[in-house]
Every structure is written in structure tokens, then in C-alpha cells.
């Protein structure tokens, strides 16, 4: 994090600058870095507009304007020659005019704003791969959006959709979709579970943190048993709505590859769930996507798998996903970074923040939604393949390449479902 004084004294070219100092106008000190700046993070300020000559930052690729005061998307962004990623999360956007973004844009974050419509020419952004629109006032999608055929991840949770167009579920590369907390996707009332107050728990230490919440190791009163307590960060997350997340998780029921829910929190400022504590021998299977990988997971250096471990993991993923689909729940976030595993290749699938209840959708849309998740599984298989030795990659390709391609094929209706995949990985 920089200060304005630090920037003023810096003579070396900078490629990345973070500046959160209560700005209400774009600082002139930044113009010294027009030839070098690639990532500019001005989150947490009081900005409401951008200068008309922002295009002077010739190398600017990623611009973060989270938690500012923007009511419109400044048209100057369309003139930025290298801009690939923009975030206006947590502003007061009501206006998204035509042509205000560069057509090479790949990643757009507009979560938690007040947009009631997308521009009718939204389809001009054909390079988009990742779009986050949860927590707005949207009730329809422009038909031109069908042209966004590179789109892999889309978040539309917590809006005002009473129906969705059929073409949405037929976008050829879409694999991670969240539609929860819309009138079109009501969540059935969850099964009964114990209700406790946060004050009844001792929070011991933090186990992990995701987009929607923080997980602590905890103890209930004087009970010697340790548990995992997930406290949500707010009522709107990057994926959707914690209330729906909790109900979808509870509705998923019992399964060997799901962490058992023990209680939900009441009388707390923020919602929360109490779950069984997973043994310390388990760790996260992958890391979230990077700027460069965009929609694909990343992995720690030196991480590896054997082919036998991969097949065992795959069998469990297929099994738990088939279970969820039978319960009419789409997970929406089928990624290695939402899975825990151990050396024996035992697996838990977590994080229902992007889950969608399918019951109220038309039957064809339900089926195509499930087919989107099969595409996500195809990507997961390729990611797992990257952790194999060269020799085992060749063995994997000989045996599974055709299956991976069937999961990834462009026509969603031609992909196998998870029930059909179960025998393949039943070894």
C-alpha cells in the first residue's frame, strides 16, 4: 500500500500501485507511471469519476475501484488499450451505458451495486470470460449476451430475475453459474437443525477464509468436541446470498463427501453455520484462480498426484455431484479450491456460496444447468492431470481423453451426466 508522499518520491517505474487514502479525485501523482503501470487498485476511496485521459496509461491491464462512490461506468475505460479486468464491486452504480468498456475486456466485477439493466449491446464484449453481477436489481439479460461465447463463469445471484432465457444455459463454455436468491430460484425451507447463539461458542483460531466467510475452530460451551464455525462476512457475497447458501447446504442432506452440519447460528449480526471439524490431515486441494488463469484453479509449487489418487478423487466428486443433482441443487463452484483431501485421496466438497436450487426452473433449464457442471468437472480433470508425472499423464490421456472431451463439448445437451460417469471412476 502506497501513500501519495511515497509515490511523489518514487523514481523507479512501478507496475502495480495500491492506494487507499480517502481520495475523492484521481491523484496527479499517478501520471508519472503512465508507461509502466499494469495493475491499479484504488479500492476503498471516495472516487465518483475518472479522468478523461486515463487512456494515457498504455499498459494498464487491471483496474480495481471497489468500495468507492461511482454511479456510472466512465466511458474513458473504453479507450484504455490493454485493459482486461475492471472491478466496481460495492459502489452505487445505476448506469451502465453502451460502449463504455473496452471490447478486449475479459473479467468484469459489478457485484453489490444498483444496476437494473445491462446495455443492449453487451454482446460486443465477446472476450469476456468471467462476469460477477450478484447483488444488483437485474431482471433480464440482453439478447446480445448470447455472443459472449467465451464466458466461463457468471454470477447472477441476488437480483430480480423471475425467469432466465434458455440461451443462457447453452453458452458453450459456461461452467460455473450462480442464480440463487432470485424469484426464479426460491430455496425450499431447509430441514430442521439445531440453532445456537454465537455467544455459546468459544472461537479458538481461524482455519481458513473464502469469498463468503471465515471459518474458525471452535468449541460449544464446555463440550470437549471441537467444531468448525463458518461466519459469513455479510448479507451479499461475491457469489450470492448467505441465507440461500445455508439452506442449500442443509437441503443437500447427508453424504460421505459433504461435511456434516451440526447447527446454524441465530441471534448474531451475521449468519453462520457450525460443522464437523475436518481432521488436520486434510488440506485444500487447489488454490483459487489467478489473474492470469482467470477461471482456472492454480496449485502450489511441487504439488503432485498419482493416477490412482486422481481416479479415487474423481470417483468421489462424481458421486457427490450426482447426489446434489438428485437433490435438485447445482453447486455452481465445482473447483479444486473448494475441496479438501488427504494423502489417502479422501475428499470433501465444500462452499455452497454459489449454489442454486433448481426445483422452480423449467425442466430443460435444470438439465442444462447440470450439464454446465459436467463441463466444470471436465476442467477439474484437466487441472488434476497437470499434477501427474509425464508418464502418468500419457496413461491418463490414453484412458480418459475421450471422456474429458465429452464433458467439455460445446453442446451442453450432449455431455454425459454424473450418473453416467459414476461407473468410469468406480475403481
Maximal CA-CA distance, the chain = 64
Determine the Cα–Cα distance for residues 218 and 373; give it in Å rounded to an integer: 33
Average pLDDT on 88-117 reads: 97
Residue pair 216/206 in contact (Cβ under 8 Å)? The answer is: yes
Determine the Cα–Cα distance for residues 31 and 37; give it in Å rounded to an integer: 9
Question: Does the domain formed by 283-425 have CATH 2.120.10.30?
Answer: no
Per mean pLDDT, which range of 15-19, 46-50, 90-94 is the poorest? 15-19
Q: What does the pLDDT look like over 342-375, one tens digit per residue?
A: 999 999 998 898 999 999 999 999 999 999 999 9
By CB neighbour count within 10 A (0-12 exposed, 13-18 middle, 19+ buried), where does 153 fall?
buried
Question: Considering the entire predicted model, what is its pTM?
Answer: 0.94
| pLDDT band for position 424 (cuts 50, 70, 90) | very high
Q: What does the pLDDT look like over 123-149, one tens digit per residue?
A: 999 999 999 999 999 999 999 999 999
By CB neighbour count within 10 A (0-12 exposed, 13-18 middle, 19+ buried), where does 218 fall?
buried
Give the per-residue pLDDT at 6: 79
Read out DSSP for 30-85? Answer: GGGGTTT--EEE--SS------TTGGG-TT--EEE--SS--SB--GGGGG-TT--E
Phi, then psi, of 314 in degrees rounded to 5: -60, -40
Residue 211 pLDDT more than 60?
yes
Average pLDDT on 57-61 reads: 96
- Between 94 and 5, the higher pLDDT residue: 94
- Percent of the chain having pLDDT more than 70? 98
- Between 297 and 417, the higher pLDDT residue: 417
| pLDDT band for position 237 (cuts 50, 70, 90) | low
Determine the Cα–Cα distance for residues 376 and 291; give it in Å rounded to an integer: 19
Give the per-residue pLDDT at 427: 56
Phi, then psi, of 87 in degrees rounded to 5: -125, 125
The residue extents of the domains of the chain are 1-151, 194-276, 283-425
Give the per-residue pLDDT at 192: 77
CATH superfamily of 1-151: Ribonuclease Inhibitor (3.80.10.10)
Output the CA–CA distances (angstroms, integers) from residue 343 to 159, 305, 313, in the order listed. 41, 9, 11
Phi, then psi, of 213 in degrees rounded to 5: -170, 180
Run of H or E residues at 197? strand 194-197
Mean pLDDT of the chain: 93
Average pLDDT on 209-237 reads: 84
CB atoms within 10 A of CB 356: 27
Rg (CA), the chain: 22
* Helix residue spans in 211-306 (DSSP H): 242-251
Fold of domain 194-276? Phosphorylase Kinase; domain 1 (3.30.200)
Question: Do the two domains 1-151 and 194-276 of this chain adopt the same fold?
Answer: no
Among 161, 165, 116, 159, which Cα is nearest to 145's?
A: 165
Average pLDDT on 8-27 reads: 88
| pLDDT band for position 242 (cuts 50, 70, 90) | confident
Residue 426 pLDDT more than 80?
no
Residue 49 pLDDT more than 70?
yes
Determine the Cα–Cα distance for residues 405 and 234; give it in Å rounded to an integer: 39
DSSP state of 235: S
CB half-sphere exposure, 174, CA atoms < 13 A: 25
Amino acid at each position: 500500500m502506497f501513500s501519495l508522499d511515497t509515490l511523489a518520491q518514487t523514481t523507479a517505474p512501478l507496475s502495480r500501485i495500491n492506494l487507499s487514502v480517502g481520495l475523492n479525485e484521481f491523484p496527479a501523482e499517478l501520471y508519472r507511471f503512465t508507461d509502466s503501470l499494469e495493475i491499479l487498485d484504488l479500492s476503498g476511496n471516495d472516487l465518483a469519476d475518472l479522468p478523461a485521459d486515463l487512456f494515457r496509461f498504455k499498459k494498464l491491464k487491471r483496474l480495481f475501484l471497489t468500495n468507492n462512490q461511482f454511479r456510472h461506468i466512465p466511458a474513458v475505460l473504453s479507450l484504455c488499450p490493454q485493459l482486461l479486468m475492471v472491478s466496481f464491486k460495492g459502489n452505487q452504480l445505476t448506469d451502465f451505458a453502451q460502449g463504455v468498456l473496452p471490447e478486449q475486456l475479459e473479467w468484469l466485477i459489478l457485484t453489490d451495486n444498483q444496476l437494473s439493466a445491462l446495455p443492449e449491446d453487451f454482446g460486443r464484449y465477446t472476450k469476456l470470460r468471467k462476469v460477477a453481477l450478484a447483488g444488483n436489481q437485474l431482471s433480464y439479460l440482453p439478447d446480445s449476451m448470447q455472443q459472449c461465447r467465451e464466458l466461463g463463469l457468471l454470477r447472477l445471484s441476488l437480483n430480480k430475475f423471475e425467469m432466465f432465457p434458455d440461451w443462457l444455459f447453452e453458452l458453450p463454455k459456461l461452467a460455473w453459474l450462480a442464480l440463487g436468491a432470485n424469484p426464479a430460484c426460491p430455496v425450499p425451507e431447509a430441514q430442521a437443525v439445531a440453532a445456537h447463539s454465537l455467544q455459546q461458542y468459544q472461537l479458538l483460531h481461524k482455519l481458513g477464509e473464502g469469498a463468503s466467510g471465515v471459518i474458525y475452530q471452535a468449541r460449544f460451551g464446555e463440550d470437549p468436541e471441537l467444531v468448525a464455525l463458518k461466519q459469513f462476512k455479510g448479507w451479499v457475497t461475491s457469489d450470492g446470498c448467505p441465507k440461500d447458501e445455508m439452506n442449500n447446504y442443509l437441503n443437500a442432506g447427508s453424504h460421505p463427501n459433504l461435511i456434516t452440519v451440526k447447527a446454524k447460528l441465530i441471534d448474531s449480526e451475521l449468519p453462520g453455520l457450525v460443522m464437523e471439524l475436518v481432521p488436520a490431515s486434510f488440506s485444500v486441494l487447489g488454490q483459487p484462480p489467478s489473474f492470469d488463469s482467470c477461471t482456472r484453479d492454480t496449485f502450489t509449487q511441487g504439488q503432485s498426484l498419482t493416477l490412482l489418487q486422481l481416479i479415487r478423487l474423481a470417483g468421489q466428486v462424481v458421486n457427490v455431484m450426482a447426489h446434489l443433482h438428485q437433490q435438485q441443487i447445482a453447486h455452481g463452484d465445482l473447483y479444486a479450491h473448494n475441496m479438501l483431501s488427504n494423502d489417502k485421496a479422501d475428499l470433501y466438497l465444500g462452499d455452497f456460496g454459489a449454489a442454486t436450487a433448481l426445483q422452480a426452473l423449467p425442466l430443460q433449464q435444470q438439465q442444462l444447468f447440470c450439464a454446465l457442471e459436467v463441463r466444470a468437472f471436465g476442467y477439474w480433470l484437466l487441472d488434476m492431470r497437470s499434477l501427474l508425472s509425464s508418464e502418468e499423464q500419457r496413461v491418463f490421456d490414453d484412458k480418459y481423453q475421450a471422456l474429458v472431451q465429452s464433458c467439455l463439448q460445446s453442446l451442453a445437451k450432449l455431455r454425459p451426466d454424473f450418473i453416467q460417469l459414476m461407473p468410469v471412476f468406480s475403481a
